[in-house]
Amino acid sequence: MDPPGYNCFVDRDKMDAAVQDLGPKELSCTELQELKQLARQGYWARSYALRGKVYQRLIRDIPCRAVTPDASVYSDIVGKIVGKHSTSSLPLPEFVDNTQVPSYCLNTRGEGAVRKILLCIANQFPDVSFCPALPAVVALLLHYSTDEAQCFENACRILACNDPSRKLVDQSFLAFESSCMTFGDLVNKYCQAAHKLMVAVSEDVLQVYADWQRWLFGELPLSYFARVFDVFLVEGYKVLYRVALAILKFFHKVRAGQPLESDSVKQDIRTFVRDIAKTVSPEKLLEKAFAIRLFSRKEIQLLQMANEKALKQKGITVKQKRQFVHLAVHAENFHSEIVSVKEMRDIWSWVPERFALCQPLLLFSSLQHGYSLTRFYFQCEGHEPTLLLIKTTQKEVCGAYLSTDWSERNKFGGKVGFFGTGECFVFRLQPEVQRYEWVVIKHPELTKPVPLEAPAAPSPPCRPVSSDPADRLSPFLAARHFNLPSKTESMFMAGGNDCLIIGGGGGQALYIDGDLNRGRTGHCDTFNNQPLCSENFLISAVEAWGFQDPDTQ
- Mean pLDDT calculated for residue range 321-349: 77
How far, in Å, are 337, 345, 470, 547 from residue 341 at the CA level?
11, 6, 37, 16
pLDDT of 454 above 90: no
Q: What is the DSSP secondary structure assignment for residue 132, as one 8-state letter?
A: T
> Which of 314-318, 324-328, 370-374, 473-477 shows the lowest mean pLDDT across its residues?
324-328
DSSP 371-398: S-HHHHHHHHTT-SSEEEEEEETT--EE
* Residue 323 CA neighbour count, 13 Å, CB half: 15
pLDDT of 149 above 50: yes
| Residues in contact with 47: Cβ distance below 8 Å, sequence separation at least 6, in sequence order | 4, 21, 22, 23, 24, 25
Please tell me the predicted confidence (pLDDT) of residue 142: 97
Tell me, letter by letter, the H, E, C secondary structure of 299-327. HHHHHHHHHHHHHHHCCCCCCCCCCCHHH
pLDDT of 52 above 70: yes
Give the three-state DSSP class for 158: helix
Q: Residue 194 and residue 255: Cα distance in Å, rounded?
A: 10
pLDDT of 458 above 50: no
pTM of the model: 0.87
- Mean pLDDT calculated for residue range 329-349: 88
Closest Cα partner for 353 from 553, 179, 522, 158?
Answer: 179
Vertex 300: Cα angle to 235 and 353 (nearest 5): 135
pLDDT of 146 above 70: yes
Please tell me the predicted confidence (pLDDT) of residue 486: 81
Q: Residue 226 and residue 136: Cα distance in Å, rounded?
A: 10
Please tell me the predicted confidence (pLDDT) of residue 545: 97
Cα 208 vs. chain centroid, distance in angstroms? 13
* Between residues 17 and 92, the one the model is more confident about: 92
pLDDT tens, residue by residue, 209-247: 999 999 999 999 999 999 999 999 999 999 999 999 999
Please tell me the predicted confidence (pLDDT) of residue 276: 97
Q: How far apart are the first and last CA of the chain?
A: 71
The percentage of the chain sitting over the pLDDT mark of 70, rounded to a whole number, equals 91
Q: How confident is the model at residue 99 (pLDDT cuts 50, 70, 90)?
A: confident
> Which of 66-75, 274-283, 474-483 shows the lowest mean pLDDT across its residues?
474-483
Q: How confident is the model at residue 4 (pLDDT cuts 50, 70, 90)?
A: low
Q: Are 103 and 126 in contact (CB under 8 A)?
A: no
Q: How confident is the model at residue 314 (pLDDT cuts 50, 70, 90)?
A: confident
Please tell me the predicted confidence (pLDDT) of residue 26: 80
Rg (CA), the chain: 26
Please tell me the predicted confidence (pLDDT) of residue 320: 55
pLDDT tens, residue by residue, 501-519: 999 999 999 999 999 999 9
Please tell me the predicted confidence (pLDDT) of residue 128: 94
Vertex 37: Cα angle to 241 and 441 (nearest 5): 40
> Which of 46-50, 153-157, 214-218 shows the lowest mean pLDDT across its residues?
46-50
> Which of 86-95, 469-478, 482-491 shows the lowest mean pLDDT across its residues?
469-478
The percentage of the chain sitting over the pLDDT mark of 90, rounded to a whole number, equals 64
> Which of 267-276, 326-335, 418-427 shows the lowest mean pLDDT across its residues?
326-335
Q: How confident is the model at residue 17 (pLDDT cuts 50, 70, 90)?
A: confident
pLDDT of 365 above 70: yes
| Residues in contact with 192: Cβ distance below 8 Å, sequence separation at least 6, in sequence order | 435
Number of other residues whose CB lies within 10 A of the CB of residue 498:
10
Please tell me the predicted confidence (pLDDT) of residue 319: 66
Q: How confident is the model at residue 25 (pLDDT cuts 50, 70, 90)?
A: confident
pLDDT of 1 above 70: no
Please tell me the predicted confidence (pLDDT) of residue 328: 65
Q: Residue 342 and residue 215: Cα distance in Å, rounded?
A: 30
Tell me, letter by letter, the H, E, C secondary structure of 166-193. CCCCCCCHHHHHHHHHHHHHHHHHHCHH
Q: What is the mean pLDDT of the chain?
A: 88
pLDDT of 520 above 90: yes
Q: Residue 296 and residue 294: Cα distance in Å, rounded?
A: 6
Please tell me the predicted confidence (pLDDT) of residue 456: 43
Q: How confident is the model at residue 465 (pLDDT cuts 50, 70, 90)?
A: very low
Q: Residue 106 and residue 13: Cα distance in Å, rounded?
A: 10
Please tell me the predicted confidence (pLDDT) of residue 318: 73
Neighbour-count burial of 412, counting CB atoms closer than 10 A to its CB (0-12 exposed, 13-18 middle, 19+ buried): middle
- Mean pLDDT calculated for residue range 377-383: 96
